[in-house]
């Protein structure tokens, strides 16, 4: 797709029902993000999510996807512990969770882990830039290009460039042959975009109170529907549906 100039559509999903919807919509990659810990289990931070929780979510999404690639985030811990721990965790995400690709956060700081996982035959989506795992000072374009090249050389199959910006983003895209996709801080200068569907469609309760620009606000529609259902029950009317 990169060679042909076709943009890659990636979405972050945590559950079977939404996985079926996005796969039917024709997205290219369905990513099970470590933000599942915050949005499903109520953790304070993505850093708290466990490997077992990632496996549960990845398995549910895998069962809902028939055609797109399924990527699963490796939780915080195995990458930082070193190549052996990362390979063991990645192997579980593939064998038990059904992931096609494993996403490694803070990959620029651990190219040896990327190389180990890729050498084990597991495709790696390597994240770099400013991430919750490595809140580094903003690097210059030359350094970010160098990081991207190191990750490609280590065996990464694609890159997740966080906070790419319109200067460094195009430079990195041109510097590597693998796809460069971005979410937060990305833009049309990349090979594709990744977006958490929960944020894009206002799936969570937080969307009831903020003013972010979204494609739809499902939380507001759902709240209105539930209030109407409650009114029907309290008024002694037949409820809709079965």
Element (H, E) at 79: helix 78-81
CATH of domain 8-200: 3.20.20.60
Domain ranges of the chain: 8-200, 204-242
At a CB cut-off of 8 Å and minimum separation 6, what does 161 contact?
Answer: 127, 128, 129, 144, 148, 168, 169, 172, 180, 181, 182, 186, 190
Say what the pLDDT of residue 216 is. Answer: 93
Whether pLDDT at 242 is above 90: no
Is 91 or 129 the better-scoring residue by pLDDT? 91
Q: How confident is the model at residue 136 (pLDDT cuts 50, 70, 90)?
A: very low
Phi, psi of 182 (to 5 degrees): -145, 150
| pTM for this predicted structure | 0.91
Query: In which residue are the tokens 């990959």 written?
Result: 107
């Amino acid at each position: 797709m990169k060679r042909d100039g076709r943009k890659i559509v990636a979405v972050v999903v945590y559950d079977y029902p939404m996985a079926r919807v996005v796969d039917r919509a024709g997205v290219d990659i369905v990513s099970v993000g470590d933000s599942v810990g915050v949005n499903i289990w109520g953790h304070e931070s993505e850093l708290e999510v466990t490997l077992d929780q990632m496996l549960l979510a990845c398995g549910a999404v895998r069962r809902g996807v028939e055609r797109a690639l399924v990527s699963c985030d490796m939780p915080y811990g195995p990458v930082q512990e070193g190549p052996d721990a990362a390979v063991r965790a990645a192997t579980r995400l593939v064998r038990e969770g059904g992931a096609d690709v494993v996403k490694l956060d803070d990959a620029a700081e651990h190219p040896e882990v990327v190389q180990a996982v890729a050498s084990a035959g597991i495709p790696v989506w390597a994240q770099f830039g400013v991430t919750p795992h490595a809140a580094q000072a903003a690097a210059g374009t030359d350094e970010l290009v160098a990081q991207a090249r190191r990750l490609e050389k280590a065996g990464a199959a694609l890159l997740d460039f966080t906070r790419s910006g319109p200067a460094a983003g195009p430079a990195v895209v041109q510097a590597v042959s693998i796809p460069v996709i971005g979410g937060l801080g990305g833009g049309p200068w990349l090979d594709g975009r990744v977006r958490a569907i929960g944020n894009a469609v206002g799936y969570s309760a937080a969307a009831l109170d903020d003013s972010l620009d979204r494609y739809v606000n499902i939380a507001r529609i759902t709240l209105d529907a539930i209030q109407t259902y409650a009114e029907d029950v309290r008024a002694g009317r037949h409820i809709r549906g079965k």
